[in-house]
A = this chain, B = another copy of it.
């Protein structure tokens, strides 16, 4: 049996969707979680990773770096990447667009953590506009969707990334339930898929 080991911080963050794909596929994997931030464990591990970063997926010892590369790899392997080349392209596009929003959004989180005086300015001028632009795109896609999934007629890794990101926004007060009802409805649909619900109920509960 292939041995999958997924190493990341004690967080959902950039590893959660890959964990969810493995669970949905019924694949056993070693779910390694190291403390957030600096730690002796991370100091020791960092120079051994391919890019000095985690997540890293090890497949029988073969290491794959970069969260979305890992996610695409497991999703293609287990049928969560779209059913045609065109569906795959759209799943990819939605998740690439996610990173284009997540990177500027993170500026606000960093400013908050550092207690920067311009955190509110970054929130209003950079981070929330990026969030809103992305959520309008997603709303438009969901309005046209007949299945309720973002792409095609079954769950893909794009659904997982979007639904889990909303959890993070909700948990941290960056999203209220009366905003973007289509996204809330989508999140509920995805996270109530029986196998995913089971994962969510038993996984470690983390803030991010």
Contacts and interface: CB of A to CB of B under 8 A. Distances in A.
Contacts of A62: 86
A66 to B, nearest CB: 4
Interface class of chain A by DSSP: helix
Contact of A137 (B51, B88, B137): B51
A86 B64 contact: yes
How many copies of this chain are found per oligomer?
A: 2
Interface in A70-118: 70, 72-73, 76-77, 85-86, 88-90, 92-93, 96-97, 99-100, 103
30 contacts: A50-B93, A50-B137, A51-B93, A51-B97, A51-B137, A52-B133, A52-B137, A64-B86, A64-B93, A65-B93, A65-B97, A66-B93, A66-B96, A66-B97, A68-B92, A68-B96, A69-B92, A69-B93, A69-B96, A70-B89, A72-B89, A72-B92, A73-B85, A73-B86, A73-B89, A73-B92, A76-B85, A99-B99, A100-B103, A103-B103
